[in-house]
Structure 1
Amino acid sequence: MKMLGLRLFGPTVMLGIGLQELGSVPLGCLLFYLWLAGLPLADRLLLQRHTWIEAVKYWGLRYNRSDTLAGAALGLVILAVILGAASSLWMYLFDPFNLRVLLANWGFSGSGRPLLIVVLIVLNPVLEELYWRGYVLQELKRKMSSLAAIGVSSLFYTVYHLLLVVPIFKPPFGWLAGLAVFGAGLVWGWMRVRSGSLLGAILCHLLADAGIMIVYGLYIA
């Protein structure tokens, strides 16, 4: 049970330390991504003594054509929805001044911002999917049904996103954004279970994150 708690709450704790205690997006990302990458690697390779090939297979890092195409198609739809919602509802979703102040306080500004944007578009979807759908979901399936495992992993995937979206959006849209994150987690978990591959979820997630960063570039930066 202790290990399960670490898996479920660890990412939220790491991101919370970076944002709430240190007040820094870069430091929060560093702690967060070290956890996302480090725990699956340590567990599979050191504790379980899997080979790299066994670990990669366990995480679902294998090509599945139909899953990859479905991930690309769904990701483009999500990207279009994000851009459409932002363009038509911008004044209702965000307070531009307060949002810029918040992001500046978090350290999301200055010369390091382009690198951070690249990290959020490329590295973030890979590590989040590896952790939640490649690792945690598989561990939960050993204790419960696949449907329950998808729900539980999606719930805890959503929790730390609330640390970000609730302050960013005007009320009550932060909580609605949290529901959207939960829905995305359910879909990506289902894709992982159905296909046995993680690549479709990664690609879909990457396109969704790209949409968010495009909105940032168009309306906030």
Structure 2
Amino acid sequence: MKETLLFPSSAERNITSLILFGTLIIVLQLNNYLLMTVWGIGVGLILIDKSMRFFIVITLTFGIGFFLYGYVNSQWIADMSPEEMRIILNRLSLIVLIIPLICISLIYRLPSMSYWQKPQWGELVRIPFIWSGFRQVKVSKFLAMAMLINLIAIMPFIVNNSWIYIQEIWGFLLLFSTLNSVLEEIIWRGILLSRFSECFGNRWAVLITSIGFGLQHYSLGFSWVSCLLFSVGGFYFGAITVHSKSIIPAIIWHMLFNALMILSGMLVD
């Protein structure tokens, strides 16, 4: 019997996957059971297409982990004080999201991450969009330039804070920026980027994980507009991971950005 294909072209399949993954993250954060039901019906129909089943399994596994992460935070962490402790525990609870993703990789006998290795710093990328631009530079130079641009852009907000404030938050800054960047990169540019690259190729995997990475910031108190801006950052983190064949450049870049947000008062005020 011939297998039914709902999406005969790869473009249709890729766009559907992007929409499906993005809407899952939105629905889970809105806690709307009607939307969850509609999403579930859509997934049930898409499972008819054999080429989509592995993606659906990964997406459902992520959804389960994200639901558990949300439950842990709403029931056990939300009312904790001081605020700095609540934020650290919130980031540490990302482990709850990572465990199901590792388990599904083991079930399929796949390496959890394809990008946990020494970066290829000499690999060439293009300015400004990594895959396209007017000039080629090495990954190491691109990363240094990007981090410098972040520093210059956020510096005006940092200088508005007192030196006393900066002295008070150094410990929190180091702990948060390390914990958050490592765990988020393991999820988005480590496990999910690896799995989605196997399904759709590198560029679509970067796009799907970037949208998801941005949208999940809504649960952290950011607006949807801010979430879209985080998606842009997620694109660059993903693209530099693919080109360097390592999540280490993204972790370094992510750590700096987190540190700058704290120093500017955007994260903790």
**Same fold, judged at TM 0.5 (above):** yes
Cα pair 2:210 2:238 within 8 Å, conserved: yes
Q: Aligned match of 1:80 in 152, 161, 170?
A: 152
Q: Which runs of 5+ in 2 are unaligned?
A: 1-55, 81-85, 123-138, 162-168
- The alignment status of 1:47 with 2:119, answered yes or no, reads no
Q: Aligned match of 2:71 in 4, 11, 17?
A: 17
Q: Aligned match of 1:161 in 194, 217, 224?
A: 217
Cα pair 2:61 2:100 within 8 Å, conserved: no
Higher relative contact order (CA 8 A, sep 6+): 1
- The alignment status of 1:70 with 2:142, answered yes or no, reads yes
- The alignment status of 1:131 with 2:187, answered yes or no, reads yes
Match of 1:105 in 2: none
- The alignment status of 1:119 with 2:175, answered yes or no, reads yes
Q: Which runs of 5+ in 1 are unaligned?
A: 91-112, 167-173
Higher strand share goes to which structure? 2
Question: Could you tell me how far apart the structure 2 residues matched to 1:32 and 1:117 are?
Answer: 18
Question: Could you tell me how far apart the structure 2 residues matched to 1:116 and 1:42 are?
Answer: 31
Question: Could you tell me how far apart the structure 1 residues matched to 2:267 and 2:258 are?
Answer: 14
**Is the deviation greater in 211-220 or in 136-145?**
211-220
Cα pair 1:11 1:160 within 8 Å, conserved: no
Q: 1:187 deviation in Å? A: 1.0
CA distance 1:16–1:41, shift in 2 (3 Å): closer
Cα pair 2:58 2:101 within 8 Å, conserved: no
The structure with more radius of gyration: 2
- The alignment status of 1:187 with 2:236, answered yes or no, reads yes
Q: Aligned match of 2:265 in 202, 216, 219?
A: 216
Higher helix share goes to which structure? 1
Question: Could you tell me how far apart the structure 1 residues matched to 2:261 and 2:65 are?
Answer: 21
Report the RMSD for the aligned CA atoms in angstroms. 3.2
Cα pair 1:79 1:210 within 8 Å, conserved: no
Letter in 2 for 1:210: A
Question: Could you tell me how far apart the structure 1 residues matched to 2:59 and 2:215 are?
Answer: 16
Q: Aligned match of 1:148 in 186, 196, 204?
A: 204
Question: Could you tell me how far apart the structure 2 residues matched to 1:68 and 1:47 are?
Answer: 36
User: Normalising by the residue count of structure 2, what TM-score does the alignment of the two structures yield?
Assistant: 0.57
Q: 1:17 deviation in Å? A: 2.3
Identical positions, percent: 20
Cα pair 1:68 1:203 within 8 Å, conserved: no
Cα pair 1:165 1:178 within 8 Å, conserved: no
